[in-house]
Amino acid sequence: MSPRSEKRGPGRTAVDRDASTVVAKSLITRALRRANTYHLLHGQPGIVALVVPEADADIYVDVAHSMLKRSLKPFHPDDFEVVRWTGKPPKAGFRSEDEALKALLPKTERIFGIACRTDDIPSLFRNVADAIIEVDSVDLRALQGVFGAILGHVPAKHDLAPVVGAPLHLLGAAIKSGRNPGWALRRLRGFTTAASEPTPQKSLSGPSLSDLHGYGEAAAWGHALAIDIADYRAGKITWADVDRGIVLSGPPGVGKTIYARALANTCSVRIFVHSLARWQSKGYLSDLIKAMRAAFDEAKKNAPCILFLDELDAFGDREQLSGHNENYCREVINALLECLDGAESREGVVVVGATNLLHKIDAAILRPGRLDKHIRVPLPDTAARIGILRHYLGDAFPETALSDIAGRLEGATGAAIEQLVRNARRSARAARRALLVEDVVASLPERIRLSEAAFRRASVHEAGHAVVGHVLREETGSVPTAARLFREVLPDGSGGRTDFDHELGADRTRAFYLAQITTLLAGLAAEEVVFGNHGGGGGGGDQSDLHVATVLAASMETSLGLGQSLTYRSSNRPAEIMASVRADPELRRRVGARLEDRFRRARDIVGGHRPALDWIASALRDSGRVTTEDIESALTRSAIPADRSHSPDLLKAASTIGIPDGK
């Protein structure tokens, strides 16, 4: 599958930088050690219930899931269950929580139960549990630990004392990597004070951020914004103290528009939804710009509010403009920048932009004072998919049933899950009966289980993207952040994908484009190195590796002036470029030669890092995912010169440090 491009700052992963996660891990670890059940985090069997504050229950569920999965990786990453009890009996499938638990116990030997009250824990669980532990609230020790871990400085005890007992989600909103510790402490004090005051009732229909699942950093940012807007309304802070813009990026269907509406509900403000296409429908350029300015004026009259700009990448990038529409597009972008400029010119208006293609947005739009905050919305993980199902299904089915369904929705977006539930309800209505688990299961998309051979080929393919992407990161300005592998896929789906963080403003020279093409062809090259041939997984659709690589190679000749001639022949729109390729035999020959050259280059890189390739492919088959740290570690350990990469002695040495030889 084609590498994806996103932007993320350097340093640790988002999870490592999240204060709420750091503290939750610490408090869970402390609780398990206190009850002599820490063996659960070393892959040993165990059944434990944790009693946690209700406000932070979702965080504890996610962290418990992550800790258990990590403890079992890479051998049995899914051989566990995390169950949350709310005190409400199951409404379908099981007559009681005890009955649901009886069905669960034979399936796994490792269970974390999360409850907000001891009374919510089923009686059967109490009888079989190794321990029922009340997790400590956030104390001085936890605060000292998280300030030290995230900010590298621990405030004095008397400064921390007023925020002892703060909820985890407020810690996550206040304590962010790179912030001044004193400022973070003041923010935390402000948050805890605001949290103790009455919350205004939601005046708009639809969900709030608390109702959504899988939004992670975006949800934390939104909750912090709600507090800021409340303080702004109360006159406690000025608009200059409020984050005034954000860009959400991610694949189609992850719920960027739903997030914006939920953000407005959480902040108890109105939302105004716009897009370039809507403004263009007004007529000529002057009409478009007039509609754009009117939209911002309307928002200012209703401040504080949210102004949502969908498909932000449609505005384009002035560095990439060409052809007869160049002046038109440049004026549109300049008008948008004028509307975004200055805190005073749009006081009270928070602009939320959404895009599937962050790297296609003009860098000036993302500069400080405009939309300078970027958060990637990922595909929902298992815990988030369970939460989304629960949101749309209510309490109709037990957690075990939702877990089974969520496990079969790997790679599904929130929009796809919503459609699944709608289809299931339609089936139940047609049968004139209540919704059953069987209706939801019957609505699941058809999945094909990859054969052992196809599964191994897919793992090698994604490992190739990861290896070459990391080796060429300086040339491309992109770093592979994660590679994923799926055992079951949709009929037209890919067996995996590799995600990349793309540096905005990269120097787009000839070397940049050649390295991009090399990375795109790396999956097929890796297959050829390992198997002696490559499959058809690199082609097919208009987002496939081969299509994107062909468009890039042709654009160097037709529109970028980076080929044999400086002659401009077409715009950089893929359809126009491919039309030129089809019409011109000589252009096809040059593009084909360039692709063959880049394929050989990718093959050489993969061959020179064979131990790392094999290790990453094996890790993908074992756990389904590798991180940027995993990729970097594998390549560091296999730092073998390319011309000696197949030396038996060196491969033997590599295997002694945990990198398989691929035999």
Return the biggest CA–CA distance within the chain. 79
pLDDT band at 472 (very low <50, low <70, confident <90, very high): very high
- Same structural domain, 279 and 363: yes
Structural domain containing residue 170: 140-190
With a cut of 70, say whether residue 126 has pLDDT above it: yes
Question: pLDDT value at position 643?
Answer: 36
- Same structural domain, 481 and 607: yes
Question: pLDDT value at position 54?
Answer: 82
Q: Strands 131-134, 46-51: parallel, antiparallel or unpaired by DSSP?
A: parallel
pLDDT band at 73 (very low <50, low <70, confident <90, very high): low
pLDDT band at 571 (very low <50, low <70, confident <90, very high): confident
CA-CA distance, 241 to 229, in Å (whole number)?
A: 10
Question: pLDDT value at position 14?
Answer: 42
Residue 134 forms beta bridges with which residues? 51
Average pLDDT of span 457-469: 93
Instruction: Evaluate whether residue 196 is within a structural domain.
Output: no
Q: What is the sign, positive or negative, of the torsion defined by CA atoms of 603, 637, 495, 4?
A: negative
CA-CA distance, 219 to 316, in Å (whole number)?
A: 28
Split into its structural domains, the chain has a count of: 5
- In one-letter notation, the amino acid at residue 422 is R
CATH of the domain at 548: 1.20.58.760
Closest-CA residue to 227 (of 182, 257, 266): 266
From 376, 395, 413, the end of a domain falls on 376
- Same structural domain, 497 and 607: yes
Give the end-to-end CA distance of the chain in Å, rounded to a whole number.
25
CATH of the domain at 121: 3.40.50
With a cut of 90, say whether residue 428 has pLDDT above it: no
With a cut of 80, say whether residue 140 has pLDDT above it: yes
Question: pLDDT value at position 6?
Answer: 34
- The winner for highest mean pLDDT among 46-60, 66-80, 506-520 is 506-520
Least confident of 7-21, 321-335, 355-369: 7-21
CATH of the domain at 429: 1.10.8
Least confident of 261-275, 314-328, 474-488, 577-591: 314-328
Least confident of 14-18, 192-196, 201-205, 296-300: 201-205
pLDDT band at 95 (very low <50, low <70, confident <90, very high): low
- Same structural domain, 213 and 300: yes
With a cut of 80, say whether residue 561 has pLDDT above it: yes
Q: Using a pLDDT cut of 70, give the percent of the chain over it.
A: 84
- Same structural domain, 372 and 390: no
Tens-place pLDDT, residues 339-370: 988 545 688 999 999 998 887 888 889 888 88
Closest-CA residue to 663 (of 622, 610, 623): 610
Query: Two tokens at 244?
Result: 């005034």
From 399, 416, 445, the end of a domain falls on 445
- Same structural domain, 628 and 550: yes
Average pLDDT of span 87-94: 54
From 134, 152, 180, the end of a domain falls on 134
- Same structural domain, 252 and 354: yes
CA-CA distance, 312 to 276, in Å (whole number)?
A: 8
Instruction: Say what the alpha-carbon torsion angle 557, 559, 561, 564 is, to the nearest 10 degrees.
Output: 20
Q: Which residue has the higher pLDDT, 192 or 256?
A: 256
Instruction: Evaluate whether residue 9 is within a structural domain.
Output: no
With a cut of 80, say whether residue 573 has pLDDT above it: no
Residue 84 contacts residue 112 (beta carbons within 8 Å): no
With a cut of 60, say whether residue 639 has pLDDT above it: yes
Tens-place pLDDT, residues 210-230: 888 888 888 899 999 999 999
Write the CA distances from 223 to 10, 216, 271, integer angstroms: 24, 11, 16
Question: pLDDT value at position 430?
Answer: 81
Residue 237 contacts residue 187 (beta carbons within 8 Å): no
Average pLDDT of span 19-29: 91
- Same structural domain, 296 and 415: no
CA-CA distance, 13 to 464, in Å (whole number)?
A: 22
Instruction: Say what the alpha-carbon torsion angle 421, 258, 359, 518 is, to the nearest 10 degrees.
Output: -10
Write the CA distances from 435 to 317, 369, 426, integer angstroms: 48, 49, 9
Contacting residues for 468 by C-beta, under 8 A, at least 6 apart: 518, 519, 522, 525, 526, 602, 605, 606
- Same structural domain, 429 and 489: no
Average pLDDT value over all residues in the chain? 81
Instruction: Evaluate whether residue 256 is within a structural domain.
Output: yes
Tens-place pLDDT, residues 283-301: 678 888 988 999 999 899 8
Average pLDDT of span 314-323: 75
Q: Which residue has the higher pLDDT, 343 or 145?
A: 145
Please identify every residue annotated as catalytic.
462
Residue by residue, DSSP assigns 182-238 as: HHHHHHHHHHHHHHTSPPPPP-SSS--GGG--S-HHHHHHHHHHHHHHHHHHTTSS-
Question: pLDDT value at position 652?
Answer: 37
Contacting residues for 504 by C-beta, under 8 A, at least 6 apart: 7, 358, 359, 361, 363, 366
CA-CA distance, 477 to 305, in Å (whole number)?
A: 36
With a cut of 50, say whether residue 26 has pLDDT above it: yes
Question: pLDDT value at position 87?
Answer: 59
Question: pLDDT value at position 318?
Answer: 80
Instruction: Evaluate whether residue 648 is within a structural domain.
Output: no
With a cut of 60, say whether residue 656 has pLDDT above it: no
Q: HSE on the CB side for 12, CA within 13 Å?
A: 13
Instruction: Evaluate whether residue 81 is within a structural domain.
Output: yes
CATH of the domain at 249: 3.40.50.300
Instruction: Evaluate whether residue 3 is within a structural domain.
Output: no
Instruction: Evaluate whether residue 260 is within a structural domain.
Output: yes
Tens-place pLDDT, residues 255-270: 888 899 899 999 999 9
Tens-place pLDDT, residues 440-457: 888 887 777 888 998 999
Instruction: Evaluate whether residue 199 is within a structural domain.
Output: no
Least confident of 268-272, 395-399, 588-592: 395-399
- Same structural domain, 489 and 611: yes
Average pLDDT of span 112-126: 80
Tens-place pLDDT, residues 147-191: 988 888 888 887 887 788 888 888 888 888 878 888 888 878 776
Q: Which helix (H) or strand (E) holds 489?
A: strand 488-489
Q: Which helix (H) or strand (E) holds 553?
A: helix 545-558
Write the CA distances from 662 to 66, 269, 530, 563, integer angstroms: 30, 57, 8, 38
Contacting residues for 528 by C-beta, under 8 A, at least 6 apart: 534, 603
- Same structural domain, 476 and 624: yes
- Same structural domain, 183 and 296: no
CA-CA distance, 27 to 61, in Å (whole number)?
A: 13
Question: pLDDT value at position 609?
Answer: 94
Q: Outline where 9-134 has alpha helix (H).
A: 14-17, 19-34, 57-72, 97-104, 123-128
Coil/strand/helix, residue 131:
strand
Query: Two tokens at 220?
Result: 């934390």
Backbone angles phi, psi at 187, to 5 degrees: -65, -40
Quote the crossing angle between the two packed helices 256-267 and 216-233, to the nearest 10°. 30
Q: What residue has token string 């871990």?
A: 149
| Numbers of helices and strands, H then E, in the chain | 28, 15
Q: Which residue has the higher pLDDT, 627 or 600?
A: 600
With a cut of 70, say whether residue 389 has pLDDT above it: yes
